[in-house]
Structure 1
């Protein structure tokens, strides 16, 4: 190989080596940035109020169902436990899945939308706003609305749990009452059986009484008998 050709070859090798280093560094930087982004999203999901599925998925109320599914897919691919070493990823992934399930359930989503609407009405009443008040469009109101929504959801959850507890207590009382009734019926059956089993004995005793004999007379006669001879 001529010297000029060798120089060109060596130069190209150096350029290729430098390019490989730059690419490797770029990949490392991208991985680091992606890991930071993943960690930030995992942290956001875990700090979001769990009863507000919109907050967990980082969505605004009223979005279309396709947007819910699209947002879930994007977020779940980002924080999937197989794609990050963050130990909190499984918990965040589980919360994300539960939030999507809740929003895709018509009954649960309607309940959440009603709580959010109640929070807005309460704030309007407290501040004596009307529906045309410019304050309703401010960021301050949105922040306050979110906080009020949390308050309403907490109150509703507490009420739901009290009702569930009262229902369980009532079911417990009914179960105990039913058990007591079963025990009472069993005792009655046992008493009736014992009474029936002693029927012949009672009849014999009555017959002896009618003949002038008392229970035990036969045994007494046997004891008085002596062996002759």
Structure 2
């Protein structure tokens, strides 16, 4: 094989191996992101709690370029990229990061209480890799517990809002019913007044006294006086 051809072959082989290695790195990182607990943003970015914002941004940029869906054929890349973006957003949000840090601190305190350890008597054990693994697992438990509590509160809030909405709807319907009733009452007002006037006119035109069939005078109930018959002379 000619030297030039050999060099071209070596370069092509090297490029192929390099590309394969990069794809392996991408797949490995995607797999790691999807396996870690998604509510722990430090774990998603593979960072330790307490790192400065500059480290968060730098790590996110490096990893996002590595697993960007446009730069890999891995079908799980979009999901991993989305989790990575959410993790960075949470850690750069002061309030969200404070809540996460509190959960991590709570997990450490609970774990130490379970082991009956103190920082003074077990300082070396607290720095061990074994404790860090346990700490991360306890953090997962705390975050899950907090999320369940948040979901319960959200459900209760939605139920309360639903009850309030139904109450508001009922009050609105009652006001509408009363308004419709008032409008109908006002619309028939002239008709009612006209009917009353006609009734009054009818009473005024009635006869003041009419004799009944028994000869009783209407109005006083007295019997009419009988006329005396004239006697004819005899003879």
Provide the TM-score with structure 2 as the length reference. Answer: 0.81
Give deviations 1:42-92, integer Å, cap 9, x for gaps.
Answer: 100111111111000000000010000110111111111222111111111
Partner residue in 1 for 2:39? 51
Number of residues paired by the alignment?
201
Q: Does residue 206 in structure 1 map to residue 196 in structure 2?
A: yes
In 2, the alpha carbon distance for the partners of 1:96 and 1:81 equals: 12
- What is the alpha-carbon root mean square deviation over aligned residues? 1.5
Separation in 1 of the partners of 2:190 and 2:69?
A: 79
Unaligned 5+ runs, structure 2:
204-235
Structure 2: distance between partners of 1:69 and 1:202: 80
Q: What stretches of structure 1 of length at least 5 have no aligned partner?
A: 1-12, 214-229
- The CA deviation string for residues 93-147 of structure 1, in whole angstroms up to 9 with x for no partner, is 1111111111111111111000000000011111111112132122111111100
TM-score with structure 1 setting the length = 0.83
Distance in 2 (CA, whole Å) between partners of 1:199 and 1:78 is 81
Aligned to 1:227: none
What is the Cα deviation at residue 207 of structure 1? Answer: 3.5
1:155 to 121, 130, 145: 145
What residue number does 1:226 align with? none
CA distance in 2, matches of 1:78, 1:201: 84
Answering whether residue 130 of structure 2 is matched by residue 137 of structure 1, we say no
Q: 1:111 corresponds to which residue? A: 99
**Structure ID, larger Rg:** 2
- Cα distance, 1:209 vs. partner? 4.2
